[in-house]
Amino acid sequence: MTQSQPSTASTSHDDIAWVSVDPTVLDSYAGFYRRGEYGVTTIWRDGEKLFIDAPIPGSLGAVALHPTSETEFYPTHGAGYFQYTFLHNPQGAVSGVLTRVQGVELTSPRIDATTAEQLMAKLSERIQSQKPLPGSEAALRRLVEGIQAGNPPYEFRGVEGGGWDQYDVHCERGTSRWRILLSADGKMASASYDWDRPKTTGTCAD
């Protein structure tokens, strides 16, 4: 691994110094990672870069990952918000990837191609059904009520491509779009609200 000049990639942190990582190390990271109950993150190498298909605000399709060390990477869009750290088991094999999003951490274990295909089939069925996960609205209500007291109406808007349930939360200042993902045991795995919605709408959390 060798230090390089700061990348000219479009990120929110121009002072980040990227490094070069051996292609064989990058190859060891390529594969499938389980994201929540249904989601699958795919990572692959193309030339000297890793790419990821995880949903990142401000980007469409595959996103390049830029290394700051042999194990830590930032996406082209979202540096400062998203960070990916590859994890290894005691034997040195890649066991998963840790995603940090504004202080929230989510570990995605590595899975084989067969498991990835099964999860993607389940996700496809769930998207076609357009039915919320049992308990997702209740979990979202607990989250929002913890942010601000009150009882705003919740409207289920569908299942998006990553398997997240989407809800519109209506309050006095407008409507915010929330995404929630539950783990296999029904607990909240991750949640976020859409900060990129038009300024003509407010959010109950502002």
- Model confidence pLDDT, tens digit, residues 157-175: 888 776 788 888 776 666 7
Overall domain count for the chain:
2
pLDDT score for 16: 67
Q: Let me know whether 109 and 162 are in one domain.
A: no
pLDDT score for 38: 78
Task: Measure CA 25 to chain center.
Answer: 23
Q: Let me know whether 153 and 76 are in one domain.
A: no
Domain containing 112 equals: 2-126
Q: Let me know whether 17 and 116 are in one domain.
A: yes
- Model confidence pLDDT, tens digit, residues 118-129: 998 988 888 888
Q: Name the amino acid, one letter, at 24.
A: T
Could you tell me how many residues make up the chain?
206
pLDDT exceeds 60 at position 104: yes
Q: b vs e for 48-65, b when ≥16 Cβ sit within 10 Å of the residue's Cβ?
A: ebbbbebbbeebeeebbb
Nearest to 179 by CA among 197, 200, 157: 157
pLDDT exceeds 70 at position 14: no
Q: Is residue 200 part of a domain?
A: no
Q: Let me know whether 16 and 82 are in one domain.
A: yes
* Cβ neighbours, 10 Å, residue 172: 8
Question: Last residue of a domain, which of 107, 126, 145?
Answer: 126
Rounded to two decimals, what is the model's pTM? Answer: 0.61
More confident residue, 48 or 191: 48
Q: Is residue 144 part of a domain?
A: yes
Both tokens assigned to 130: 């357009």
